Amino acid sequence: MSDPTAALTCSDLVVCLCAEWCGVCREYEERFRQAQAKYPQVQFLWIDVEDEADLLHPIDVEDFPTLLLAVRDEPRFFGPVTPQAEMLERLIRSTIEDPVAPVLAHKAIADLVSRIRNRTGV
């Protein structure tokens, strides 16, 4: 049986946008790290929205946790999620593993993916 994560690459990106003061985010971080361990070929980033406000501008993140998933430079998902490990893994499978998953046609989100890649080197 083939590995379902074999098609994932280092150009795939999962970003959690949270805030240090947020209790839900602090609890979610462990679940996020567990998913990171399951998908070592995907780049996972934890970004504090207050520490990186200039990186996120002009996008305002008001609900936590908010996830950004991208394949190469194509954003596939951006939005708040329930802080459950199963939800994160389902999103990864449906947006990153699926080669026909729709690309978000939102310039500000695509620009954010580019800024994140440029700043972090991923």
Is residue 42 within 8 Å of residue 93, measured between CB atoms? no
Reported as a single tens digit per residue, the pLDDT across 6-31 is: 455 568 999 999 999 999 999 999 99
Domain topology for 12-120: Glutaredoxin (3.40.30)
Domain coordinates in residue numbering, the chain: 12-120
Percent over 70 (pLDDT), the chain:
92
Helices (H) and strands (E) in the chain, counts: 4, 4
pLDDT in tens, 49-105: 999 999 999 999 999 999 999 998 999 999 999 999 999 999 999 988 887 889 999
The answer for residues whose C-beta is within 8 angstroms of residue 96's C-beta and 6 or more apart is 8, 12, 14, 42, 69, 71, 76
pLDDT tens for each residue of 44-65: 999 999 999 999 999 999 999 9
d(CA 38, CA 8): 12
Q: CB–CB of 17/65 below 8 Å?
A: yes
